[in-house]
Structure 1
Amino acid sequence: MASRRQLLQASALASGLGALGLAGSTAQAATSRPVYAYVGTYTDGGKPWRGGRGLGVHQFMVDSATGALKPIPGAPPAVASSGNDAKLRNPASLARHPTLPLLYAANEFEAGSVSAFRIGADGALSFVAEMVCGGKDPAHISVHPEGGFLFTANYASGDVSVIALRADGSFDADRAAVIYKDAAACGATPCKPGADVVPAAARSHEGFATSDHDGPHAHMVHSDPRGNFVLVADLGLDRVISYRFDRATGVLSQPSTVAVSESSGARHFVFHPNGKWLYLVNEEASTIAFMRYDGSTGVLALVSETSALPAGFKGTSYASGIRMLPDGQHFVSLNRLHDSISLFRIDSRTGAPTLVREEWSRGNYPRSCTLDPSGRFLYVCHNKQGDNVTIFRVQKGDIRFTGQYVAVGSASAIEFSA
């Protein structure tokens, strides 16, 4: 039996890896508790790419041997978008509290909000509370690794919300969400949207990917591995913004920014385990921007941009999700329309990424991907017409399809209970 010290060490390691986009196999080895999975969906079409066929937050039990997702005995298939005061509408992004059995869902609609759920002993979710985030269409949600604050990236309004959490993980209803405008991050000379033209990288493969350079559009917000800075990827501004974070107050200050190629569409990012390298998906250029990160200042420096599509590809594709694999030597990114998973190898000396190969995602329009807590399975959510989650085995820096499909309407994101 593991000692108390071993359990605490395992817990700390799992928490740190989670902040980096990794899954900690040590955590699963230290406990035999069941693992549960939750899939956020689009419940209200509204826009063509949403689909709107989800039921809310779908809930499953994970088979630790095969990675299969199975219904939770006695629980409804999903926490519904209506009834039971759940107040869900397009719960398209999910985040788990780092230490407490709580799950948060960002409701992506004009009057954006966040819903909190308690994870029961049987894995079933129960609604706790809802809080407005103050921004429009929150497309991404994350929790600070110390659990005191929650962040949303509000796509339509082009800003970031900071929401205070109480010690029990509930919303601090006495403190309104604080909004930070992406366009103001450049100081006296505000950041301006790039031109809505086909990026040079897309022109190189004769693509036509353009969208949403009509203004700022925050697409992801997440703290750095140490929790000292909060980073925001803005698709409309073609920039990543880095704010200094005050742990006591939740205040974001002293922003610095780094630009990617014009009209590339900065979308989602992941850190390398060393905390010094960052990999950013550019949605419209279908490229990976490799950056060096200074953890003492929060400053990013662009090193290179590498295509996420195979050599010789012709046509349009929109890149989306990204995830570091457990070995720290590889990561994967997603391509929508090409409907593939790109596998990259990382140079251990320089951090430079090299595209190794592509794997068919087994669905249409893959939006996001996540590792299970053991790090042995990768789950890909397809939200446009695919309406499923597909499961891949991760082994020795590679991925292989398990043959398993899970039907989930307009699946957008998946999160786990541990």
Structure 2
Amino acid sequence: MSHHHSRRQADLAVYIGNGLGGDISVLRLSGKSGTLSPIQRMPFPGVTQPGRSLPLALSPGREFLYAAMRGAPRGVATFRIDQATGALCELGFAAMTESVAYIRTDLSGRFLFGASYDGNVVTVSPIATDGVAQQVAQRVPTAPNAHGIMGDSDRHVLATSLGGDVLYSFDFDQAAGTLTRPRTTVLPKGTGPRHFIFDPAGKRLYLLGELDASVTVFDYDPKHGTLQTKQVVTMLPAGFDGKPWGADIQITPDGRFLYASERNSSTLASFAVEPDGKLRPLQHIPTETQPRGFGIDPTGRYLVVLGQSTDHATVYAIDGGSGGLGVNDRAEVGKSPDWVEMVELA
């Protein structure tokens, strides 16, 4: 019990990628009060021209933070995380040919995957033993606008093509760090597959459609890397008749609640995850304008939403019983924030 209690109270470091600011806001989120306080503004090393977004990724052990500059200098920077304060210290930079809109490490922390929206490729970069991401070692062409990439385990890696309405499933050779044998799952035309997440057990995959604001539920076979469509739901609020613009999707660590953000209605859609993995719509929560990125902390207590048009972040407390969200705090961050990662502090 004591560990669970301390975990409930642990403070969190919050890392926010500011696209037009070209820097990372580092904040401390109090485990007791759910309020934010600034720790650091870390400029991207040598930034001369910020990109339109600043994707982030954590190492599996939470010791390192990776950031992808889409402007100049284009490439991936590696930072060490101070486990007590959350402060960042720059460790290295690797130049890239492509601008990557999404990065993620493999489960071993030895490779960094990238999805290039502009370059129509997915990439694999080795990560050195000191944690520093190196230059790209493999590029795999995709249908237009690769937008998300993530491993399911040590066997497969999945990736999306927004322009091709395709979800790829690659075999991943962990020894060589290479992607092979892409299998494709074709989505209905105009879905615009963007981001996706697995349930905690790795048996379901939830895919967000940017262009139709849909969430597609798949049964997932981790042994073979194959998918079976189970359900499609909308994340649009009733009566919304604008152009859908889905952005981000997250699930609570206990797998009971799922949330998705939509940028033109500036809402979060919440869903209960049924025992069979299907989604039951709960509510639509008005939030920051243009909520391109949001995140759930590793303890499942807090959800942090970024307003790309407001340069602010809102912290919600997640009700573990109902999945409801209550506003705890709001803080100014950098210019055009779009990505958030969170780490428990010691």
Q: TM-score, normalised by structure 2?
A: 0.91
Q: 2:50: which partner in 1?
A: 89
With over 3 angstroms needed to count, the CA separation of the structure-2 counterparts of 1:31 and 1:273, relative to structure 1, is closer
Show CA shifts across 1:114-149 (max 9, x none): 1101113432211111112332x2111111111110
CA distance, structure 1, for counterparts of residue 13 and residue 92 of structure 2? 21
SS in 1 for 2:115: strand
CA distance, structure 1, for counterparts of residue 326 and residue 265 of structure 2? 17
- Contact 2:165/2:189, CA 8 A, preserved across alignment: yes
With over 3 angstroms needed to count, the CA separation of the structure-2 counterparts of 1:87 and 1:151, relative to structure 1, is farther
CA distance, structure 1, for counterparts of residue 155 and residue 49 of structure 2? 31
Show CA shifts across 1:192-220 (max 9, x none): xxxxxxxxxxxxxxxxxxxxxxxx00111
CA distance, structure 2, for counterparts of residue 86 and residue 389 of structure 1? 23
SS in 2 for 1:64: coil
Match of 2:314 among 390, 400, 403: 390
Q: Is 1:410 aligned to 2:336, yes or no?
A: yes
Q: 2:150: which partner in 1?
A: 222
One-letter amino acid of the structure 2 residue matched with residue 380 of structure 1: V
One-letter amino acid of the structure 2 residue matched with residue 89 of structure 1: P
1:234-313 to structure 2, matched below 5 A, reads 234-313=161-240
- Contact 1:325/1:375, CA 8 A, preserved across alignment: yes
Q: How many residues are treated as equivalent by the alignment?
A: 340
1:401, distance to aligned residue in structure 2 (A): 2.9
1:347, distance to aligned residue in structure 2 (A): 2.4
1:34, distance to aligned residue in structure 2 (A): 4.6
SS in 2 for 1:389: strand
1:145-184 to structure 2, matched below 5 A, reads 145-172=107-134, 176-183=136-143
CA distance, structure 1, for counterparts of residue 147 and residue 6 of structure 2? 34
Match of 2:18 among 12, 20, 41: 41
- Contact 2:217/2:229, CA 8 A, preserved across alignment: yes
* Higher percent of residues as strand: 2
1:86, distance to aligned residue in structure 2 (A): 6.6
Structure 2 unaligned regions, length at least 5: none
CA RMSD of aligned residues (A): 2.3
With over 3 angstroms needed to count, the CA separation of the structure-2 counterparts of 1:265 and 1:376, relative to structure 1, is same
Q: 1:65: which partner in 2?
A: 32
1:381, distance to aligned residue in structure 2 (A): 1.2
Match of 1:131 among 94, 98, 117: 94
Q: 1:9: which partner in 2?
A: none
Q: 1:357: which partner in 2?
A: 283
CA distance, structure 2, for counterparts of residue 178 and residue 336 of structure 1? 33
Q: 1:376: which partner in 2?
A: 301
CA distance, structure 2, for counterparts of residue 344 and residue 254 of structure 1? 34
Q: 1:122: which partner in 2?
A: 85
Show CA shifts across 1:365-412 (max 9, x none): 0011111232100001121x2211111111124132324211122111
- Contact 1:134/1:177, CA 8 A, preserved across alignment: no
1:358, distance to aligned residue in structure 2 (A): 0.6
Larger Rg: 1
One-letter amino acid of the structure 2 residue matched with residue 38 of structure 1: Y
With over 3 angstroms needed to count, the CA separation of the structure-2 counterparts of 1:65 and 1:250, relative to structure 1, is same
- Contact 2:48/2:73, CA 8 A, preserved across alignment: no
One-letter amino acid of the structure 1 residue matched with residue 241 of structure 2: K
CA distance, structure 2, for counterparts of residue 170 and residue 31 of structure 1? 31
- Contact 1:133/1:177, CA 8 A, preserved across alignment: no
- Contact 1:132/1:177, CA 8 A, preserved across alignment: no
SS in 2 for 1:169: coil
One-letter amino acid of the structure 2 residue matched with residue 223 of structure 1: G
Q: Is 1:400 aligned to 2:313, yes or no?
A: no
Q: TM-score, normalised by structure 1?
A: 0.76
1:260, distance to aligned residue in structure 2 (A): 1.1
SS in 1 for 2:102: strand
Greater Cα shift, 86-95 or 399-408: 86-95
